[in-house]
Copies of this chain bind each other. A is one copy, B any other.
Amino acid sequence: MSTPGTGQAPNPGIIFETFQAYHRTAAIKAAIELELFTEIGKGSHTAEAIAKGIGASVRGTRILCDFLTIMGLLSKEGDQYSNGLEASVFLDKSSHGYFGGAARFLLDPKLTAPFQDLAKIVRDGRTTLPDEGTVSYDNPIWVEFAEAMAPMQFMASLEIAGIVGGEGEMEVLDIAAGHGLFGIAIAQRNPAARVTALDWAHVLDVATENAKKMGVADRHTALPGSAFTVDFGGPYDVVLMTNFYHHFDMATCDGLTEKIFAALKPGGRCVTLDFVPNEDRVSPPAAASFAMTMLGSTASGDAYTFKEYDAMFSKAGFVASEKHALEKSAGTLIVSAKA
């Protein structure tokens, strides 16, 4: 079968592969749970040796290892499997870069369940989760986020602190702090920075614990509550808005941005980290795909373009917004200045 005029034959393979894409998710999740990458890192290379090390069947281990090889996470020479570069850095528990625990949050059944009936979500235009979805009041999922996602965002927090940390006295408000790493990294880099971390109380416990571990507890204050209702205090030099705007519709974002503007000193900056697709909304893939995560898990969230963010910040009174591509994150940093 070929299409007239193009001479190109359609490839049904892409459709079959898409039907089965969920196998890839299942495979990486299983391999992390079984600590398969860690076992290979220890020196087990055949299916038999790996199976013995992780307490699993040879049939299951061999098929899983072959599948992970096809996916590019392992390599195979003869009957010997080795971790690929990404698996050895990010999925072997003995690596400093390990963030396999992120699967616990990203693949929590509460987050994946809505995708079982995406047609209904597309019809209704909102998640099948109740109320506001994942951002409903005090949703315990964010405690899990704070615990599980910190390692995945650690490198990005250092990169961002390098961009906004500066020198000298600096009051920082870390909105929806979660694990708190973004504020903590600034406090570590700038010994004169003080961070106020805002989040629901149970989530803040994680940030406070991280601030202690990282030696900045004396300059890290917890402000429990909702970003929409709590008094921000201040005024601040920097307000951090990391991975938060995307959960809400633009009217809600506008309201929050006005509140941030009011809490900033003259010359202060709002620093936004978010998934920011190009104006075409289909590139780059990682940022643009994030809109689907918001469709599945929220009532009205989205992946906003820079043009939309720029308009939002202008409307709230900011004089300029600048975007910075990040090396350590699929997110984009937007720094918006108050006159």
Residues of A at the B interface (CB closer than 8 Å) are 1, 3, 6, 8, 10-30, 33-34, 55-64, 66-67, 69-73, 76, 85-86, 88-91, 97, 99, 102-103, 106-107, 112, 115-116, 118-119, 121-126, 152, 155, 280-283, 285-286, 288-289, 291-296, 300, 302, 330
A25 close to B29 (CB less than 8 A): no
Asked if residues A99 and B12 are in contact (CB atoms below 8 Å), the reply is yes
State which of B16, B25, B34, B89 has its C-beta within 8 Å of the C-beta of A122.
B34
| Cβ–Cβ < 8 Å partners of A12 in chain B | 86, 90, 99, 152
Q: Which residues of chain B come closer than 8 Å to A122, judged between CB atoms? A: 30, 34, 56-57, 60-61, 63-64
Residue numbers in B under 8 Å from A152 (CB-CB):
12, 16
Is B19 touching A21 in the complex (CB atoms < 8 A)?
Answer: no
* In the bound complex, CA of A60 to CA of B168 (Å): 46
- In the bound complex, do residue B15 and residue A123 qualify as a contact, i.e. CB atoms below 8 Å apart? no
Within 8 Å CB of A66, what residues of B? 281-282, 288, 291
Q: Provide the bound-state CA to CA distance between A101 and B70, in Å.
A: 27
Partner of A23, one of B70, B71, B85, B293: B293
Given known contacts A3-B89, A122-B64, A295-B64, is B103 in contact with A19 (CB within 8 Å)? yes
Nearest-CB residue, chain B, relative to A124: B57
Which residues of B have CB within 8 Å of A76?
280, 282
Q: Which residues of B contact A291 (CB under 8 A)?
A: 63, 66-67
Closest CB in chain B relative to A155 CB, distance in Å: 7
Other A-B contacts than A22-B115, A60-B125, A60-B295, 7 sampled, CB-CB below 8 A, are A10-B89, A22-B24, A26-B118, A34-B122, A55-B123, A63-B122, A67-B288
| Distance (whole angstroms) from the CB of A133 to the closest CB of chain B | 13
Q: Which of A71, A118, A280, A291 has the most CB of B within 10 A?
A: A118
- Chain B nearest CB from A335 CB (Å) reads 23
Closest to A64 in B: B122
Task: Give bound CA distance, A244 to B76, whole Å.
Answer: 28
The reply to whether A70 and B24 form a contact with Cβ atoms under 8 Å apart is no
User: Nearest chain B CB to A246's CB is how many angstroms away?
Assistant: 12
Find the B residue at minimum CB distance from A292: B67
Select A18's contact among B28, B64, B69, beta carbons within 8 Å. B28
Q: How far is the CA of A30 from the CA of B286 in the complex (A)?
A: 21
Minimal Cβ-Cβ distance residue in B for A67: B292
- Contact across chains for A10 and B90 when beta carbons are under 8 A apart: yes
Cα distance A41–B59 when bound, in Å?
45
